[in-house]
Amino acid sequence: MRILVTGANGYLGQGIVKSLLELGHTVVAADFATTHVDEHAERVDCDLFNIDDPFTYFGKPDVLLHLAWRDGFVHNSDAHIEDLPKHYHFIKKMAESGIRQIAAMGSMHEIGFYEGSIDEHTPCNPMSLYGIGKNALREATELICKQHNIVFQWLRGYYIVGNSKYGNSIFSKITAAAHEGKTEFPFTTGQNQYDFVDYQVFCDQVAAAVSQKDVNGIINIGSGKPEKLADRVERFIKENGYSIKLKYGAFHDRPYDSKAVWGSGAKIERIMQEVHHA
């Protein structure tokens, strides 16, 4: 298929583009600059939001995979609300000109405070502007897809584990600190349990999800099981051979961080089985 990936130059975009190429798709990678995108993709440097007919402009793709989003790690940035109309109009234009499948990147932060396993029926009560922005885009995108009879996929991401020092996750920050030669890393109590998914697995799951049309709606991209933050971080330090120690209790847990939360893996397991059999 011909798949348009927006935000392709971002931390997630770079890996997802590679995974899509490996599955044999033609990838049109769009971003303000595409310097870090695999050269086997068709790279397009542009401002997505200033294109009149994006469907034609990007060569009439079969699938839109919308990853573009600003300030994803700054949970209360005004950008989450200010950019919302731009994302909405871009997706609406794509739908009106003939795209047949729209997938977009969501976040478990749409849910807000919750304990237990999350599936597509779990109610959303977001507690940050990031969660509110993503949740609103999800609802609007689903509505647009229904109106135009388009396949709708919302890829709800969980906690990604990767050793790039350029990300904003706890794992990226530990990597950066280790590279700087620091011996201690200030940390919470680490008792909260989350759904951790390795970067490569995450990218492969996203690529597999958009490569099929049988499993749709909200699809959790994650491991499908909870693991204690302290255990996962200690394991990450060991896996990468860092000689840095966690300083437990230096930070308080955020009030909106759940004690234990993870995504149901039922849908993504079905998708991964299909892709492996194909």
Determine how β-strand 227-228 pairs with β-strand 193-194: antiparallel
Catalytic residue among 57, 88, 114, 130: 130
Q: How many CB atoms lie within 10 A of CB 56?
A: 11
- 254: which residues sit within 8 A by CB, 6+ positions away? none
Is 199 among the residues known to form the active site? no
Q: How many CB atoms lie within 10 A of CB 250?
A: 12
Give the residue carrying structure tokens 């348009």.
4
The strand ranges marked E within 24-118 are: 26-31, 42-45, 63-66, 101-107, 116-118
- Three-class DSSP category at 104: strand
Which sequence positions are flagged as catalytic? 130
